Amino acid sequence: MSGIKIPEREVPVVKETDVVVVGGGLAGVAAAAAAARQGMKVTLIEKTIALGGLATMGHVCIYLPIDDGNGNKVYGGLAEDLLHVCIKYSYDNLPEVWRNKPDTAPKDSERYQTNFNIPAAVLALDEFAEEEGIDVVFDTVFSEPIMDGKTVKGIVVENKSGRTAYMAKMFIDASGDSDLLYRAGADTETLPTIVSHWFHELDFKLMKEGIEKGDMMLATPLRWLGLTPSGGAGDEKEDLTCDGTTSEGVNKYIRLSRGLALDFLKKHQSPDFCMISMPTLPQFRMTRRLIGNDELKYDAEYHIEDSIGCVIASLDKPATVYEFPYGGLITDKLTNVAAAGRMVSASGRGWAIMRFIPACVLTGEAAGTAAALAIKNGTDLQHVDVKELQAVLQKNGVKLHRTKAMEGNVPVPRKPGGPRPAISKMYVHNDPEEVRQAGSGH
Ligand SMILES: Cc1cc2nc3c(=O)[nH]c(=O)nc-3n(C[C@H](O)[C@H](O)[C@H](O)COP(=O)(O)OP(=O)(O)OC[C@H]3O[C@@H](n4cnc5c(N)ncnc54)[C@H](O)[C@@H]3O)c2cc1C
């Protein structure tokens, strides 16, 4: 590729503030709210025109369990609060036993999880951000950091006003893709992702059944389409994985994902059927994550001294409970940038654990709180007093360590090639015979 030199020019500074959060997915919203609750002035930069990220614009409208499947709540704090925000103004399938946010429920209770309505969640998140005093800037893309050694002084963004800068004392990268961390010089790892296309559909037959049963989610279910790397047919003619950190990868994803949808539509075209929504963010599970000072240890070490909260493999029942270290949010390469959400430091299966919505919100809350404490105490993120951080998180409802009751959870093993044990009704259509797919799942 050839290069071209762009003349240097001055960029107007729009704002100088305490904390800037890049990315308004649920992790970014949690990070911004947590910092604002500590009295910080917070600006959140979001490239789309809505909050929620994959959970709203990406159509992943299933808030997976925040309990361990044995009646113990694992995620409190904002991970629990945002679940309730998402269902504030529309339907849900939250089991009644969890409605009032108890810490425990009978062992055989249904899981503490819910589907939610996307537009209602977007509107409730707008309201939440306003109530929390977060300055949200939509339709604005972070493009590059302004560096001073290992410190990010500001970021350059691009929007309809052109190129401008936001300066801040602390930054949180909640872009899902480590855009800020990577461009500021942190070590990262990239993983290609498989292709999905989730959308809502309307089918007269199901709609009739939904109306008869008074069940809105049954009337307008989610349809999952997905591709395995081999297209489900075992032929490897085309590599069907995509790298979400390059323009080529994103465009390949969009082509394949919409191709799946078109194949499906051609088969189902009928006066009784239509698609009623379409994801407006590519549904990348994993893209680029931070290689931080520490990472999730999901095999042996259970008690983590600097834990910022418990996490679970949300789809397992009962779910093993792990503890996530503060060091998984930060890197010694940068003094004032923390990671939040699906790009925190966790490798292998750990990455799959940390990308579920509740874990993303938890790390958002911890990153926002840590950034605020660093500012208050005049330190960098490496010297945040972890005991103080833990005390604030715990006061706000976060479960830092496994309780006795959470120990020894061993998931029911999955039969080879068989489905996972069902965890709850998800109002999802996923017919393996229909399209070249093999159950893309969550
Ligand atoms: C197909 C699929 C199914 C899934 N199923 C489930 C499920 O059933 N339940 C569950 O709990 N989890 C599920 N997950 C995982 C979960 O949805 C996501 O991991 C989680 O929502 C990620 O939240 P986040 O805030 O970390 O990142 P994201 O939701 O990706 O948010 C990142 C935000 O940053 C913005 N952004 C990105 N780059 C920039 C930039 N340069 N400048 C400004 N803004 C930027 C984006 O627009 C976005 O709003 C699924 C994921 C996929 C892809």
Q: Are 234 and 260 in contact (CB under 8 A)?
A: no
Q: Whose CA is nearest to atom 3 of ligand 1?
A: 442
- Ligand 1 nearest atom to the CA of residue 57, by list position: 49
Is the confidence at residue 303, as pLDDT, over 90? Answer: no
Mean of pLDDT values over 266-288: 95
pLDDT number for residue 298: 77
Is the confidence at residue 431, as pLDDT, over 60? Answer: no
* Predicted confidence band of residue 236 (pLDDT cuts 50, 70, 90): low
Ligand 1 site, residue 81, Cβ cutoff 6 A: no
pLDDT number for residue 442: 74
Ligand 1 site, residue 156, Cβ cutoff 6 A: no
User: pTM to 2 decimals?
Assistant: 0.95
Ligand 1 site, residue 28, Cβ cutoff 6 A: yes
pLDDT number for residue 425: 65
Is the confidence at residue 432, as pLDDT, over 90? Answer: no
Ligand 1 center to 78 CA (angstroms): 17
Residue scoring higher pLDDT (82 or 435): 82
Ligand 1 center to 404 CA (angstroms): 32
Mean of pLDDT values over 299-307: 82
Domains along the sequence of the chain with CATH: 12-191+286-411 (3.50.50.60), 195-283+419-429 (no CATH)
Ligand 1 site, residue 360, Cβ cutoff 6 A: yes
Is the confidence at residue 139, as pLDDT, over 80? Answer: yes
Write b or e for each residue in 171-204: b if 16 or more Cβ atoms lie within 10 A of its Cβ, otherwise e.
bbbbbbbbbbbbbbbbebebbbbbbbbbbbbbbe
* Predicted confidence band of residue 433 (pLDDT cuts 50, 70, 90): very low
Lowest mean pLDDT among 97-106, 296-305, 398-407: 296-305
Written as six digits, the tokens of 406 are 């959470």
pLDDT number for residue 224: 87
Q: What is the mean pLDDT of the chain?
A: 91
> What is the rounded (10 degree) CA torsion for 120, 121, 125, 126?
-30
* Predicted confidence band of residue 251 (pLDDT cuts 50, 70, 90): very high
d(CA 2, CA 261): 36
Testing ligand 1's pocket by substitution, the residue of 60, 223, 314 carrying the most ligand atoms inside 8 A of its CB is: 60
